[in-house]
Structure 1
Amino acid sequence: MKHYPCVLTIAGSDCSGGAGIQADIKTISALGTYAASAITAITVQNTCGVTGIHPVPPSYVKGQIEAVMTDIRPRAVKIGMINDVEIVQVIAESLKKFKPEFVVFDPVMVSTSGCKLMEDDAIEAITTLLMPLASIITPNLSETEVLTGKQIRNIEMMKTASRELLNYGCRAVLVKGGHLEDGNMCDVLQLKDESEPHLFMAQKVESHNTHGTGCTLSSAIATFLALGNNMPEAVKQAKKYVYQGILSGKDVHIGEGHGPLNHFHSPVPMHISDED
C-alpha cells in the first residue's frame, strides 16, 4: 500500500483566499503533500482588512480534528488563528489524545492590516495549554513582544526573546524579523537542546503582496517536517518557499490592499511513499 504524507491545519478561514486555512491548503498542496483542515473561525476579510470574526463552536472544532486524526492520521499539525479559550482547550485535549509527531504553532494575534485577532484570555490559554505541546512556535516581532512583554528592536533582542520563549515549554522557537526597524531580514531559530541559535538571513523583497506570509511559512515548516526533514532544514526550506512566493507574486494585482504571495510558483509532484 502507498500513502500521501498528510498535514492537518487548524486555523481560521479567510474568504479572500490569501491567508488562514486557504493559504495553508495551498501551501501544503503546492509542496506535494495531502492537506486536511479543521476550521476554528469564519472571518470576513479581504486584502484591505478584517471586519468580522465568527468562532466555530468548540465541539465542532473538536469533531473536525477527531474525524481527521482517527482516519487520515496526519504526521504534522499546523495551528493558526484561535479566537477563544474553549477552542484552545479542545485543541490541546485533542493533541494530547492523538499525539501527532509534529506540532507547528503560529500564534496569530494581529492581522497584517493591524486588526487584533485574539482575545486576551485566549492569549493566556495558549501559553499554558498549547505552547508546551508545540514542536515549534513561530511568532513575528509584534507577537513576540506580546508574549515577552518587551520591545524587540534588533537581532540580539530577538535571540534573547527566542530563549525566553522556550520557557513556555515548546521545543523550538522561530522569531520572525521581517519588520525590524533597520531593514534587516533575519529570522532566529532557537532549539531547546542547542545553546546557539540558527540565523536565517534574506534579502528584502519590496512588495505589497504579503498577505498570509506567516500562515504560509508555518504550514510549509509543518509540511517539510512531515516529509522527514529535521527542524533547521524544515525552516530553511520553508523560508526558501515563502521567499520565492513573495518574489514571483510581487507584481501581481489581487485586491486593493495587501495581496497574497504566489503559492504555486513552482509546483512539485505529489509525494507518495510506502506504508510503514
Structure 2
Amino acid sequence: MKTVLTIAGSDSCGGAGIQADLKTIAAHGLYGMSVITAVTAQNTIRVSGIHVIPPEFVEKQMDAVFQDIFPDAVKIGMLSDSEMIRAVAGRLKAYHPKWVVLDPVMVSTSGNRLMDQEACECLIKELFPLADLITPNLAEGEVLSGLQITGRETMILAAEKISGLSGGGVLLKGGHLSDSADDLLVRPGEERRWYPGERIENPNTHGTGCTLSSAVACGLAEGRSLPESVAMAKEYVQCAIAAGLDLGRGSGPLDHMWRSEQII
C-alpha cells in the first residue's frame, strides 16, 4: 500500500487540516500518516483558539514516521512561524522524500493574513526549493508575486513569477475568480496547463485547499505524473463540493467520502 504523510494543523470540526487530509488519503485507498503542527479550536463559523506545537516535537513526529514507514509523498499545510518552517525544512533535507506538495497557508478564505512577513520570507527561502508543487490560492498568489490577479492573463504572470521563486511547479488555484474556477499549472521549461472548473453553487467549501493538495500527493504517491495527479485531484474536489454535504451553521466541509456513497 502506498503511503502519504501530511504535516499540518488539526481542525477540531474535521473539515480542514489534518482531518481533511487523512479523509482524502483514505478515500483514495492510500495509508495516511500525520505530523501535527498546531491544534485549533474551530468550527464552521469561527476559529476560537490555536495552540502551536513546539517545533522540536514536530521534529520528533517527523523522525518517528520517516524512520519506520517512509512516505511515498508528503503534503505540507499550516506552519505557524519561521522556527516551525525551519524545523520542517531541516527534516525534509535529512530524509529526502520523493515528492513534496506544499500548500502555503498564508491567507484565509476571508482574506485575513495568517502568516507574518518574516514567516512568508522564510517559507520561500527554506521550503519552496524543496517542494515539487506549490498550491497557492489567488490571495496567496498575490502575496507571493506582488501582483494583483484579476483574470487568466494575470494568473499566468503571477504563477510564472512564483515558479521563479521556487524553481518547481506552481498550481495557482482560480476558485475565487469571478467567472470560473480554472486552475493553472506552471512548471519551468514546460507548457502551461489549464484545468477548467465550473463554479458550483455551494457555500460549504471549508478545507478545499487542504483537500486538493492532499489529493495531488495521493496521485504522486501512486506513481502518476504531476499533470495527471492535478487533474485527478481537481475532479475529486469538484465532486466533493457537488455532493452537497451541509453540516454546521457556517461554511461547512466537503463530502470527502462521496465515492463510497455512490457505490452504496
TM-score (norm 2): 0.96
Alignment partner of 1:260 is 2:253: yes
Number of aligned residue pairs: give it. Answer: 261
Q: Secondary structure at the match of 1:12?
A: strand
Q: Is the 8 A contact 1:25 1:35 kept in 2?
A: yes
Q: Deviations over 1:61-92 (max 9, x none)?
A: 01101110110000100000111111100110
Q: How far off is 1:36 after superposition?
A: 0.2
> What is the distance in 1 between the residues matched to 2:185 and 2:62?
28
Corresponding residue of 1:95: 92
CA distance in 2, matches of 1:66, 1:39: 13
* CA–CA separation in structure 2 for the residues paired with 1:81 and 1:129: 15
Q: CA deviation at 1:37?
A: 0.3
How many angstroms apart in 1 are the aligned matches of 2:165 and 2:3? 27
Give CA-to-partner distance per residue, 1:150-200, whole Å, 9 cap, x none. 11000111111111111222420000011113x211100011231x21000
Which of 203, 213, 218 is matched with 1:208 structurally? 203
Return 5+ residue gaps in structure 2 as ranges. none
- Kindly provide the CA deviation profile for residues 222-251 of structure 1, in whole angstroms up to 9, marking residues without a partner as x: 011000100000000000100110001x2x
Distance 2:135 2:260 in 1: 24
- For structure 1, the residue ranges without an aligned partner over 5 or more in a row are 269-276
Q: Which residue pairs with 1:231 in the alignment?
A: 226
1:184 aligned to 2:194?
Answer: no
Amino acid at match of 2:211: T
Match of 2:7 among 4, 10, 22: 10
- Using the size of structure 1 for normalisation, the TM-score is 0.92
CA contact (8 A) 1:50 1:115 kept: no
- Residue 241 of structure 1 corresponds to 236
Q: Does 1:117 align with 2:117?
A: no
**Distance 1:170-1:105 versus aligned 2 partners, 3 A rule:** farther
- C-alpha displacement of 1:110: 2.3
Q: Which residue of 2 aligns with 1:146?
A: 143
Separation in structure 2 between the aligned mates of residue 254 and residue 116 of structure 1, nearest angstrom: 26
Distance of aligned partners of 1:114 and 1:162 in 2 relative to their CA distance in 1, 3 Å threshold? closer
Q: CA RMSD in A?
A: 1.2
Comparing both chains, which one has the higher relative contact order based on Cα–Cα distances under 8 Å and sequence gaps of 6 or more?
Answer: 1
1:193 aligns to 2:189 (yes or no) = yes
Secondary structure in 2 matching 1:236: helix
Output the CA distance in 1 between the equivalents of 2:42 and 2:117: 21
Q: Among the aligned pairs, what percent are the same residue?
A: 50
Alignment deviations for residues 191-232 of structure 1 (CA, whole Å, 9 cap, x no partner): 1231x2100001111001100000000000001100010000
Q: 2:60 aligns with which of 52, 60, 63?
A: 63
2-structure distance, mates of 1:45, 1:114: 17
Alpha-carbon distance between aligned partners in 2 of 1:30 and 1:209, rounded to the nearest angstrom: 19
In the aligned structure 2, how far is the partner of 1:247 from the partner of 1:263? 11
Which residue of structure 1 aligns with residue 166 of structure 2? 169
Deviations for 1:77-121, whole angstroms, at most 9, x for unmatched residues? Answer: 000011111110011001110000000000011233444322322
Say whether the 8 Å CA contact 1:9–1:77 is kept in structure 2.
Answer: yes
